[in-house]
Structure 1
Amino acid sequence: MCGRFTLSTEEKELEDKFQFTLDIPIAKRYNISPTQSVLALTQGQNERKAHLFRWGLVPFWAKDLKIGSKMINARSETLHEKPSFRHLIKRNRCIILSNGFFEWKKEGNKKQPYYIQVDNGKPFSFAGLWDTWSNDREQITTCTIITTTPNTLMKELHHRMPVILDKDGEKAWLDESLTDTDYLQSLMTPFASEKMHAYPVSIDVNNPRNDHADNIIALSS
């Protein structure tokens, strides 16, 4: 799964890599947690648009926001079966920006957090879905991160991993004219393990209130 991640890349690097203009203020984040805001991109008519979505999908038909904390991830294999996701796959796709995420490995009687990076810390994107929920007082757009089976690296840490897209995958995922579900499903595969690396970090990351750069410093051996 994916339950915590970071986005601490400089804004200019994000804009250059993902081809968009960042016109909303963002701070460097080292422990992004469920129900918090995440930076997501959708495809506009002529350009990519940046949004701050609430992490944890709340379907438009839900009675309240509480369901979102249980829907931070969506299994790629069952997207077409779940009422919360199946109507989103064709028209409500987004990419969620990150430069690393955390996973917890069971080691004896404890769980050790690990920090996982792609291409030596370069920013990358998760495949996501979004929906807009509203009541008489507010309207909130929420999102979920899609997960898949683990690659060789991630298998040592967890039985699931987030769907990470390459440049071509991002372009296709954001293309609203693509509605072939079989093709979209083909994008939701494990990212190449040789392009990723993981290392243990402090248990400070266990607490969502600890949002600081020390979270991504490797533990000394």
Structure 2
Amino acid sequence: MCGRFVVANVGSELVGVLRVDLEADDLPAPSFNVSPTDPVAIVLDSIKTEPPTRRLESARWGLVPAWAKDLSIGARAINARAEEVEDKPMFRKALEKRRAVVPASGYYEWKKVGDAKVPHYIHPADDSPLFMAGLYEWWKNPVLADDDPARWVLSFTILTRDAIGHLGSIHDRMPLFLDPDFADAWLDPTTDNVGDILDAAIDAAPDVAETLADHVVAKAVGNVRNNGPELIEPVEP
């Protein structure tokens, strides 16, 4: 799974290779301890224009489907199993037309060692951006007025798959990583071969995973109130 991650940069510094057309004005600040329900910058291709416009938007972590009665359901949908999303009503529609890229600097995972859980920071060895496959939805808050800018909430989930290699020794799941060259195909909302796109992403993720490095970090990362660059510094196991 992926329950915490790091976004040390924002805007074009993080997503330059994805050729974003428009960046939102309300992008969240860098965070070294992104937690569920936090705002995060995601990349999506909007079909409101022809051709689609690639946008960098602020979104709430934890997918809230259009039919939800309130936002609370999102806290239980921060991750979605890639091998199950085609069959899950909560994710099926988003998979068809609303796929996203979630850019990050790295993510945290906890390895069970005896009775303890040891946090690891997993990141690209060359400090390049890490791209994770996501799905997004727009939810309309029924209690707010039509002209209230907060009425529409953009939210997302991160797809996961079985972990491989050294990442598998830390946790049995890992995010569905995307190669930058595959991002265009993943984001394209006009594609008809969604199943093939998903299968290709699942099959290619290990290639990215094998390039990642990891190290043990301080247990302070377990407290969502802690947030600073010291959280990603290595410590003795």
Instruction: Give the TM-score, by structure 2 length.
Output: 0.88
Q: In the aligned structure 1, how far is the partner of 2:137 from the partner of 2:9?
A: 26
Q: Over aligned residue pairs, what C-alpha RMSD do you find?
A: 1.6
**Are residues 1:22 and 2:23 paired?**
yes
Q: Identify the match of residue 136 of structure 1 among 136, 143, 154.
A: 143
Task: Give 1:14 deviation, angstroms.
Answer: 2.0
- Aligned to 2:111, the other structure's residue is in SS state strand
Q: Which amino acid is 1:178 matched to?
A: T
Alpha carbons of structure 1 residues 179 and 153: separation in structure 2 relative to 1, 3 Å:
farther
Q: Identify the match of residue 180 of structure 1 among 193, 198, 205.
A: 193
Task: Give 1:23 deviation, angstroms.
Answer: 4.3
Contact 2:28–2:40 (Cα < 8 Å) also in 1: no
Task: Give 1:46 deviation, angstroms.
Answer: 5.4
The worse-fitting range, judged by mean Cα deviation, of 44-53 and 105-114 is 44-53
Match of 1:152 in 2: 165
The worse-fitting range, judged by mean Cα deviation, of 204-213 and 16-25 is 16-25
Contact 1:165–1:191 (Cα < 8 Å) also in 2: no
Q: In the aligned structure 2, how far is the partner of 1:57 from the partner of 1:117?
A: 24
Q: Identify the match of residue 71 of structure 2 among 65, 71, 74.
A: 65
Q: How does 1:151-170 map to 2 (within 5 A)?
A: 151-170=164-183
Task: Give 1:95 deviation, angstroms.
Answer: 0.6
* Structure 1 alignment gaps of length 5 or more: none
Contact 1:15–1:22 (Cα < 8 Å) also in 2: no
Q: Which amino acid is 2:123 matched to?
A: Q
Alpha carbons of structure 1 residues 89 and 15: separation in structure 2 relative to 1, 3 Å:
closer
Match of 2:230 in 1: 214
Match of 1:117 in 2: 123
| Per-residue deviation, residues 162-190 of structure 1 (Å, max 9, x unmatched) | 01100222110111121213312221233
| Per-residue deviation, residues 89-126 of structure 1 (Å, max 9, x unmatched) | 11011111101000000011110000000242211211
Q: Identify the match of residue 99 of structure 1 among 98, 101, 105.
A: 105
Q: In the aligned structure 1, how far is the partner of 2:42 from the partner of 2:15?
A: 12
- Aligned to 1:68, the other structure's residue is in SS state helix
Q: In the aligned structure 2, how far is the partner of 1:141 from the partner of 1:10?
A: 18
- Aligned to 2:186, the other structure's residue is in SS state helix
* Structure 2 alignment gaps of length 5 or more: 145-150
Q: Identify the match of residue 51 of structure 1 among 40, 57, 77.
A: 57
The worse-fitting range, judged by mean Cα deviation, of 187-196 and 49-58 is 187-196
**Are residues 1:191 and 2:206 paired?**
yes
Match of 2:147 in 1: none
Identity rate, percent: 33
Q: Which amino acid is 1:153 matched to?
A: H
Task: Give 1:47 deviation, angstroms.
Answer: 4.0
Q: In the aligned structure 2, how far is the partner of 1:191 from the partner of 1:133?
A: 33
Match of 1:79 in 2: 85
- Aligned to 2:126, the other structure's residue is in SS state helix
Task: Give 1:37 deviation, angstroms.
Answer: 0.5
